[in-house]
Every structure is written in structure tokens, then in C-alpha cells.
A and B are shown apart, each in its own frame.
Chain A
């Protein structure tokens, strides 16, 4: 459905996108992960025909990127709310629908259908300016879905949204069954929705694959967090390092963090050693590797930086 080959975009001396290549299949949800300034939005702007790439090629549903046919195939949901606050959701959809050559009965039918899909069927006649943040986000998505695009591009659609609305948005996206390019810096969203993710940093695509593959390849080991009261337990640190599956121990506030390949298997032995040394454990947590860890391992940065 979408193919990007060797995209490059420079703003003055700054390289916003450098040799980015990826593809999104029909009905696939592809996540583009990266911190602010990684080049996600610029990449999307090139795909949507809003910016011209200095180099590289985009095709959307077989059409050259930026062409009217390619634009018609895309439903774009920008990061900021792109609706007229003084108009109702229904009026906004009517206007944006007309830009896609929709009209008459067909447009009214699509408006009803789309408002129902995003859970705004009973609020469609109210001014968008009076909506809550979550409702605005849902109306924003509705405007991108109205013309039944074959590729939906969502640029951080859940920023600043309450958990309930976020859940509703994710449910909506998951139910669409069309190709979706989804950018976010919430890993749990990417892990939940996306069959594959690409990780961007400093304008480059540094890794790509299914979430589980990426975690297996780059996510590192389980982390076992122990907390206890009293003085630092030097004896426990030494004892843990002697355990065969533990590869590292580092102090954390009020306790220790162990890195291991099998956190659950090591846990009983660590508890036994603590008991033997008289260390009273107040908390134990096994943290499995995730996309955050992948990102940290690949870029040396937190995803939310």
C-alpha cells in the first residue's frame, strides 16, 4: 500500500530525514516510533504530498506520492486538531468531505457512519470548540476517515487525551481493517496496535520489525528490582553476582536492580539468598524488556526525550 524508498529532506543545514525506507502492506498497522524531532512528522508530510523530498520516492497504492490519486488514497489525521472550532463536527465533515468530491446523500451517509464509528453520533451537531480534548481528537480522526481512505496516517493521535478517549481511539483504529501508518511515542500503543514498527532517531530509521522481534533482538534482559529497608546490603550484591543466570547488579534507590535472562526463574533463588543473609525484602518486581528498552538500547535515549 505504501512504499518509501531512500527519503531525504534537508532544512538548511539540518537533515530532518536521512535515507528513510520502509513499506506498509494492505491492512497492516505500521508504527513509526521516535522522540520529538526524530523526523516522523516530516516523513509523514512527504508521504502526504505536503513537502517535497530532496531525494527518494514514495508510492501510495501504486501512485506516485504527492499526486492527486495518491492524496485521494490517504486519510491524514494531523497531530494538531485540524477542524474549524466554530463549526459543528457535522459541518466540518461536510466541508472536508467536499474536498474529496463527496456530496449529497453519499456524503450525509458517510458523515453519519463516521460519527458513529468514533462515538460522536449524538454530539455531531455541537460546535467543535465546545468539545473536550478527547472528543476533538475523535472528530479529527473522523475527518480523516470520511472518504474511506485505503491508507490512514495518524500522527500522534492520542497526545493529551484522557485514558478513556485514548482507549476509544485505539479501539477505533484497531477495528478499521485498512493500512495504517501510526506515529506515537507511547510504546504500549505501538505494541498493542502495530504488526510492525520502525524506530526513528535523528532522521534515520534505526530499526524495523515486529515488536517481539525487536524486543528479542534489542530489548536486552529482564530486570529484577529488589527493595529492602535498612543499610546497603553489600553481602546480597555479592551473593547475587554469584548466581549463574545473573549478569549484572546495580544499586537503585532503596534497593538493587539485577539483569538476567530469566527473571522469573532467578527470583526464588534471590529471595532465598536474601533470607540467608538476613535482608528483609519489602518489594520485588520483574520487568520484562519492552520497546522502551529497545529504543534505549538503539539510541541511548528515552523515547519521551
Chain B
């Protein structure tokens, strides 16, 4: 009950209250101070902003900070007018051979991840334009607003919750799976495993029974997060059939992995520690804790070596790219393969697992 319903609902509430109200479904405005509308327009064009991201030029840095702080702006870019060394810059996009670039600050609200992303993109565009010297910064006009129409980058208009709800639910699933299989160790320390092992059941049946219980618990938990974030906080995970497929695949992979980790542990404490460490490691490497596409390229490749990385690929296709359910068949099959392989490895040590 705790793992399958209460904990997912608590998780949903945290995610919903953290991101739900700030999910930028409509327009999102980034403020810029210290640059002319022409420079900003050029930078925005170079950045290829989507249609629903607007850039507004403000005369003073203070105004940008205030409007970001009160939520009017999703993010802001402030040009300081001085030059900074490249090593201190957030995004050093400059001409080849340069060692300095115009200074700027990117400001955003902690909860507006999309605002921060777009503000950084605009800052990068400004930096490249200004350093190249094609356009010089001048006095900014009052509240000039620039709309840039460009191609969709795929995640235009999607809310943070759409991505982070499945992302965090997958972390929860993988840590929970490892901890769930720990229950076999608890049966051992509690003395009940000896009675179960003495019953007319094959060891593989005992382990499979445990896994089935954890699979169902995991599946209920992720479906609970899906339902609650969708109906309570308006998140959009994408095509329901695809979500269902991925949830089944992720829960199965989690069970297999949990069983394999448990087969390696000698006692309850080891199983707990291993499940936690591996769960957190997978979350980091798989990209669950970061915005989509923000991992360095090599890590994005590495993330495909993790089951949660594949789950995120699938969920990303559904929620960010809004692709149909059929698009997740690949990730679903990979998750099933991971489940079968890890379960198979665990089964080679099954007798040890149920030995009292």
C-alpha cells in the first residue's frame, strides 16, 4: 500500500506543486537588458526560438531581475557591457581563437527550468553576435517586444511536469524495485524464508512470486503517478497505450534488475545499500535528474546502457515529441530484454537466494 499508492501520491503532490503551476503551456517570455532590439532579434534568430517563446528588451538589469522574480518573465539575460574571460562564461560560444567574450548574466526562477534553458540559449546567441563585432550593443528602447518565428525544436510548449513526472516516477520505480527485492532478505532475517523454502515450491517459483508482487506494486505506483499528475496537475504524458507499454516494460526491467542485485547481496543491509546506490547511479547516468537533452553527448549515449535511459527515451517521445504509441515499441522491447537478461542472471543464483 505504501509503495504502490501512498508514496507515488506524495511524489505526485511534490512534483505537481513544484512544477504543475509553472508548466508553460502557452507563451513564455524572456527579458533582455543591455542590448538593442536589433542585436536581440539577431541573437534570437540565431538561437532558433520556437513560436511561443517571446523576447522582450528591457532598459535596466534591475527590471529584468524584478520581473523574473515576480514571475512575469520566465527568464532573463543581462548584458554587463564588460568583457569576461571565456573560462568564466556559462556558454562560451565565440569566434575561433578568441579568449574573451561580452559579459552577461542569465537569471531565472528556480521552478522555471524551461525559462532558464531559453534564456541561456538567447545569451549564447547574444554572446556570439556581440563578440563577432557584427553588431555593437547600444541603448535599449523601452519594452520593445520581439517575436521570432522559427522551426519547432520538438519541445516547444511542453511543460516541465510532462517530462519530470515520468522521469522521477522511473527513478522511484528503479530504487523501489531494488528495495522491494530486499524483502527476500527480510524474509530470511525474519525467519519466514525457511518455512517458505521448506514448502513444496521450486526456488525459482519463490523468487518469481516475489518478483510478481514487486512488479505489480511497481506498475501500480507508476500508473498512480501517471493518473494523479494527469488528472490533478494537468500533465500530459502522451499516448496512453504507449505510457502503459513503457510502464510495463520499465516495471519488468526494474524487477529483473532488483532480482539480480539481490542475488549478489549477502544480507539485508547489503541489498539495501546496493539498491540505493545503483538506483541513484542509474538515475544520474540515465538522465532522470536533468532536463531532456542536457546531458553531454557522450553521456546521452551512455544513458542508453541503462534501463531508465531507455524508459526516458520512450517517455520523451510520448510527452515531448508527442509521437504515437507505436514509437515506444523499440524502447519497450529493450526494457523487456533487460528484464529477461537480468532475471536470467538472477536465476543462476536462485538456490542461493532462497537458502535460509
Q: Is the beta-carbon distance between B199 and A100 smaller than 8 angstroms?
A: yes
Q: Quick check: is A205 within 8 A (CB to CB) of the other chain?
A: no
Q: Quick check: is B26 within 8 A (CB to CB) of the other chain?
A: no
Q: Is the beta-carbon distance between B195 and A143 smaller than 8 angstroms?
A: yes
**Which residue from A69, A71, A85 sits with its C-beta under 8 Å from B198?**
A71
| Contact-size category for A | 20 to 34
How does the 8 Å CB contact mask read for B182-213 relative to A, with 1 for contact and 0 for none? 00000000111011111111100000000000
A101 to B356 alpha-carbon distance, docked (Å): 22
Q: Is the beta-carbon distance between A96 and B199 smaller than 8 angstroms?
A: yes
Which B residues touch A72, using CB under 8 A?
200
Q: Quick check: is A243 within 8 A (CB to CB) of the other chain?
A: no
Which B residues touch A82, using CB under 8 A?
191-192, 194-195
Which A residues touch B355, using CB under 8 A?
50-51
User: In the complex, what residue of chain A is closest to B209 when comparing beta carbons?
Assistant: A99
A51 to B355 alpha-carbon distance, docked (Å): 8
A76 to B200 alpha-carbon distance, docked (Å): 11
User: In the complex, what residue of chain A is closest to B206 when comparing beta carbons?
Assistant: A99
Give the Cβ gap from B13 to chain A, nearest Cβ, in Å.
27
A115 to B355 alpha-carbon distance, docked (Å): 29
A111 to B258 alpha-carbon distance, docked (Å): 35
Q: Is the beta-carbon distance between A80 and B197 smaller than 8 angstroms?
A: no
**Given contacts A50-B355, A50-B356, A51-B355, are A81 and B191 in contact (CB under 8 A)?**
yes
Q: Quick check: is A49 within 8 A (CB to CB) of the other chain?
A: yes
Q: Quick check: is A48 within 8 A (CB to CB) of the other chain?
A: yes
Q: Quick check: is A145 within 8 A (CB to CB) of the other chain?
A: no
Q: Is the beta-carbon distance between B199 and A71 smaller than 8 angstroms?
A: yes
Give the Cβ gap from A130 to chain B, nearest Cβ, in Å.
16
Q: Is the beta-carbon distance between A96 and B195 smaller than 8 angstroms?
A: yes
**Given contacts A82-B191, A84-B192, are A48 and B200 in contact (CB under 8 A)?**
no
Q: Is the beta-carbon distance between A78 and B202 smaller than 8 angstroms?
A: no
| Interface members, chain A 20-62 (any B CB < 8 Å) | 45, 48-51
A85 to B192 alpha-carbon distance, docked (Å): 10
Count of chain B residues with Cβ under 8 Å from any Cβ of A? Answer: 14
A48 to B200 alpha-carbon distance, docked (Å): 10
Q: Is the beta-carbon distance between A48 and B198 smaller than 8 angstroms?
A: yes
Which B residues touch A69, using CB under 8 A?
200
Q: Is the beta-carbon distance between B202 and A68 smaller than 8 angstroms?
A: yes
Q: Is the beta-carbon distance between A80 and B199 smaller than 8 angstroms?
A: no
User: In the complex, what residue of chain B is closest to A67 when comparing beta carbons?
Assistant: B200
**Given contacts A50-B356, A143-B195, are A84 and B190 in contact (CB under 8 A)?**
yes
Give the Cβ gap from B80 to chain A, nearest Cβ, in Å.
63
The number of inter-chain residue pairs (CB within 8 angstroms) is 49
Q: Is the beta-carbon distance between B199 and A99 smaller than 8 angstroms?
A: yes
Which B residues touch A240, using CB under 8 A?
none
User: In the complex, what residue of chain A is closest to B356 when comparing beta carbons?
Assistant: A50
Q: Is the beta-carbon distance between A78 and B194 smaller than 8 angstroms?
A: yes
How does the 8 Å CB contact mask read for A192-235 relative to B, with 1 for contact and 0 for none? 00000000000000000000000000000000000000000000
Which of A68, A69, A143 has the most C-beta atoms of chain B within 10 angstroms of its own C-beta?
A: A68
How does the 8 Å CB contact mask read for B344-356 relative to A, with 1 for contact and 0 for none? 0000000000011
How does the 8 Å CB contact mask read for A57-95 relative to B, with 1 for contact and 0 for none? 000000000001101101010101111110000000000
Q: Is the beta-carbon distance between A71 and B200 smaller than 8 angstroms?
A: yes
Which A residues touch B197, using CB under 8 A?
49-50
Give the Cβ gap from B234 to chain A, nearest Cβ, in Å.
39
User: In the complex, what residue of chain B is closest to A77 when comparing beta carbons?
Assistant: B195
A263 to B190 alpha-carbon distance, docked (Å): 50
User: In the complex, what residue of chain A is closest to B351 when comparing beta carbons?
Assistant: A52
A50 to B354 alpha-carbon distance, docked (Å): 9
Give the Cβ gap from B187 to chain A, nearest Cβ, in Å.
9
Which A residues touch B190, using CB under 8 A?
84-85
Q: Is the beta-carbon distance between A68 and B191 smaller than 8 angstroms?
A: no
Which B residues touch A101, using CB under 8 A?
200
Which B residues touch A100, using CB under 8 A?
199-200
Q: Is the beta-carbon distance between A49 and B195 smaller than 8 angstroms?
A: no
Give the Cβ gap from B143 to chain A, nearest Cβ, in Å.
65
User: In the complex, what residue of chain B is closest to A144 when comparing beta carbons?
Assistant: B195
Which A residues touch B201, using CB under 8 A?
68, 71, 99
Q: Is the beta-carbon distance between A76 and B192 smaller than 8 angstroms?
A: no
Give the Cβ gap from B197 to chain A, nearest Cβ, in Å.
5
User: In the complex, what residue of chain B is closest to A92 when comparing beta carbons?
Assistant: B192
Which A residues touch B192, using CB under 8 A?
82-84
Which B residues touch A78, using CB under 8 A?
191, 194-195, 198
User: In the complex, what residue of chain B is closest to A72 when comparing beta carbons?
Assistant: B200
Give the Cβ gap from A87 to chain B, nearest Cβ, in Å.
10
Give the Cβ gap from B302 to chain A, nearest Cβ, in Å.
41
Which A residues touch B196, using CB under 8 A?
99
Q: Is the beta-carbon distance between A50 and B198 smaller than 8 angstroms?
A: yes
User: In the complex, what residue of chain A is closest to B354 when comparing beta carbons?
Assistant: A50
Give the Cβ gap from B287 to chain A, nearest Cβ, in Å.
39
Please, could you name 23 A-B residue pairs with CB atoms under 8 Å apart, sorted by A? Answer: A48-B198, A50-B194, A50-B355, A68-B200, A68-B202, A69-B200, A72-B200, A74-B198, A76-B194, A78-B191, A81-B191, A82-B191, A82-B195, A83-B191, A83-B192, A84-B190, A99-B196, A99-B199, A99-B200, A99-B201, A100-B199, A100-B200, A143-B195
Contacts from B to A (Cβ < 8 Å): 190-192, 194-202, 355-356
4 new A-B pairs (CB below 8 Å) besides A74-B198, A81-B191? A71-B198, A76-B194, A83-B191, A100-B200
Per CB-CB distance, the 8 closest pairs between chain A and chain B, nearest first, are: A99-B199, A82-B195, A71-B200, A72-B200, A68-B200, A76-B198, A80-B191, A82-B191
